[in-house]
Structure 1
Amino acid sequence: MSTYETGKALSEQVNPGMEDALRARYGHLVPTLAEGVVDWAYGRHYADETLPLRERYIATIAALTAQGTIPQLKVNIGGARKAGLSREEIAAVIWQMALYGGMPAAINGLNAALEVFAAEDAA
């Protein structure tokens, strides 16, 4: 199986429709972006079994919280839930980033998590 095929299967598991959404939004600007994200991010990184998927999501949530990249954080919180992280674990990772990304970044991250959890409850 190619890294693209591996990435496609994994991305559909944790973030269904992501490739189509990326293609619809950015395809006219960067035609290879959607396939590249699936191949590189999911097929080569998230699928690498050196670090379990749960732990990869912990690292991703921490980094995105510290960077303050809320839209991507929300997407990855959703993926983390599908990879088995509890709401409390996600909140703890975000809160830990108050030490490294600052209190505003952690509060913004917690607010993003609350939005994801509310959407989850509504579904």
Structure 2
Amino acid sequence: MVGFHAVLTANKRLDLKRALSAMGTATPQLKVHIVAGLNVGLTRDEIIEILIQMAIYAGFPAALNGLFTAKDVFADHDMTARKENF
């Protein structure tokens, strides 16, 4: 069961990801918030969906930058998980 605080935090993270991807120039900050979103229970599909939806509001180039950033974060996240399993 997910606690109220985790749900509230996840919702705030969704808003931050939208805003940061819309800016298009906040890649380091977007990485931090994608990792935090994963840590509070957002799925990769949810994060990708958010970034795709931003194409409507921020333009396709900004959405693509966000997706490339997410791809990097997911790869780092997988590598960290593998190291922890050894």
The interval holding the TM-score normalised by the smaller chain is 0.7 to 0.9
The 5-angstrom pairing of residues 1-123 of structure 1 reads 52-68=8-24, 69-123=26-80
In the TM superposition, residue 95 of structure 1 has moved relative to its aligned partner by 0.6
In the TM superposition, residue 112 of structure 1 has moved relative to its aligned partner by 0.2
Corresponding residue pairs, total: 74
Say which SS state the counterpart of residue 99 (structure 1) adopts: helix
* TM-score when normalising by structure 2: 0.83
**AA partner of residue 56 (structure 1):** K
* TM-score when normalising by structure 1: 0.58
Distance between the aligned counterparts of 1:71 and 1:120, measured in 2?
Answer: 15
Please identify which structure carries the higher helix content. Answer: 2
Distance between the aligned counterparts of 2:62 and 2:28, measured in 1?
Answer: 13
Higher relative contact order, structure no. (Cα contacts within 8 Å, ≥ 6 residues apart): 2
In the TM superposition, residue 117 of structure 1 has moved relative to its aligned partner by 0.2
Q: Which has the larger radius of gyration?
A: 1
% of aligned pairs identical? 42
Cα distance per residue 1:27-82 (max 9 Å; x no partner): xxxxxxxxxxxxxxxxxxxxxx6x81110000000000001111100010000000
- Flag as ranges the 4+ runs of structure 1 deviating above 6 A: none
